[in-house]
Amino acid sequence: MTDFRPETRTVHLPQPPLNGSRPITVPLYQTSGFIFDDPAVFADGMGRPDGAFVYGRMSNPTVRSLEEAVSGLEGGVGAVATGSGMGAINAVLFGLLAPGDHLIAQKPLYGGTAAMINDMVGRFGITVSYVAEDDPAALREAVRPETRLVYLETIANPVTQVADLPGMCAAAREAGLISVVDNTFASPILCRPIEHGADIVVHSTTKYLSGHTDVLGGIAVFASDELYRKVWAFASKLGATPDPFAAWLTLRGMQTLSLRMERHCFNTRELATRLNDHPAVSAVYWPGLPSHRSYELAAKLLPDFGGVFSFDLVGGREAGERFMSSVRLALLAPSLGGVETLVLHPATTSHRTLTAEELARHGIGEGTVRVAVGIEHIEDLWADIEQALS
Ligand SMILES: *Cc1c(COP(=O)(O)O)cnc(C)c1O
């Protein structure tokens, strides 16, 4: 570039060769597109996920590193990363369903997914039936000739029901349906739904996978190459693509996933157990407690029970609201899966669009408090919760 003028040289920056070494960390390829020496390679890279990198909406090496990492953890053949968890869920649903199709979804469902399915049903001519997350017989009964897909969640929000993944996925397979499992709450450390018969696993990587409350992202992992290619092609057109920097932050967070999950689960077990014995608390919902409706299923399916739990206070809604304005270390905030402990009131925030009857069906009370437990010292967390209860 030495023969060019400053105006040109500032545009075309040097890219020094690495001369035999390479970076320890995954490089951040913060570029929207790629340069070709050979026009034939350029042409060949269009329209498929395994050719040369061409344009960032279709693929990027930093994003691909995340896709291969999560696909490997989940035991898939390929993955499509997206800009948010809802991006991954919608890439799968809109990529695989057509007007006239029927889907079977579990109740309870994550709020954003429930709202999206309502929208699909209202505007896109898709129909839905809801079944309990642990009832394969109900699933079999709900199947119609036009049913295409079954949608499940490993651990549901906020009262943490655990899905009967082996039973539900087997029933889906018998009927020739695609099973999709949202594994966000468990992370691949606690559960790998493909091992239990799922065809597609989706995550909000915003939560445990990235783990530091600083990035939005999602990913869909596929057990079959056919489904992978179909959704990849749709997602490239849809444009739910993540920015490379978001993928890079997610990879950086993921390196400590197993350590964080261990502490999340340990802290949650302590808090759930202690609250269960507290006189101000009327019920605690965590699948690791023998009193939880999913306990037996969870004990078979999961090595530990996750970092989210909910509880009801004896004083109902008013006591719940007082609790949430009394915590000091725990933060009143949405989301979960980060290093900080967060609390929220589902009835007025994440589940505000549900009617009283729907709330009851989800097992959510007027005063239910959800806690997304962080990785702080357990005694600091307990001291905060105890003072807020009194
Ligand atoms: C947060 C979340 C989502 C949505 O993910 P976003 O990254 O917020 O789009 C989907 N499913 C579950 C279980 C979640 O917790």
The Cβ of residue 24 has, within 10 Å, a number of other Cβ atoms equal to: 5
The residue to mutate among 86, 92, 154, 208, having the most atoms of ligand 1 within 8 angstroms of its beta carbon, is 86
Find the DSSP H helices in 76-224: 85-96, 111-123, 136-142, 165-174, 187-190
Do 167 and 222 reside in the same domain of the chain? yes
Point out the ligand 1 atom lying closest to the alpha carbon of residue 335: 1
pLDDT of residue 1: 59
Are β-strands 178-182 and 147-153 bridged in parallel, bridged antiparallel, or unpaired? Answer: parallel
Q: What is the CA radius of gyration of the chain?
A: 23
Instruction: Tell me the mean pLDDT in the region 33-44.
Output: 95
* Judgement on whether residues 140 and 164 belong to the same structural domain of the protein: yes
Nearest atom (ligand 1) to Cα of 87: 9
Residue nearest to atom 6 of ligand 1 (CA): 85
Q: Are residues 250 and 356 in the same domain?
A: no
Q: Whose CA is nearest to atom 2 of ligand 1?
A: 204
Q: At 91, which CATH number?
A: 3.40.640.10
The parent domain of residue 343 ranges over: 257-389
Spatial CA neighbour of 385 closest among 328, 320, 314: 328
Residues 309 and 163 in one domain: no
For residues 211 and 355, membership in a common domain is answered with: no
Total count of domains within the chain: 2
209 in a structural domain = yes
Q: Are residues 78 and 194 in the same domain?
A: yes
Based on the domain organization, do 209 and 73 belong to the same domain?
Answer: yes
Q: Is the pLDDT of residue 352 over 90?
A: no
Does any domain span residue 27?
no
Could you read off the pLDDT of 234-248 as tens digits, one per residue? 999 999 999 999 999
Q: What is the CATH number of the domain that holds 335?
A: 3.90.1150.10
For the stretch 170-211, pLDDT in tens is: 999 999 999 999 999 999 999 999 999 999 999 999 999 999
58-107 confidence digits (pLDDT tens): 999 999 999 999 999 999 999 999 999 999 999 999 999 999 999 999 99
Q: In this structure, are residues 187 and 210 in contact, taking their beta carbons and an 8 Å threshold? A: no
Assess whether 292 and 173 both reside in one domain: no
User: Which residue among 254, 271, 299 closes a domain?
Assistant: 254
On whether both 77 and 111 belong to a single domain, the answer is: yes
CA 308, CA 310: separation in Å to the nearest integer? 7
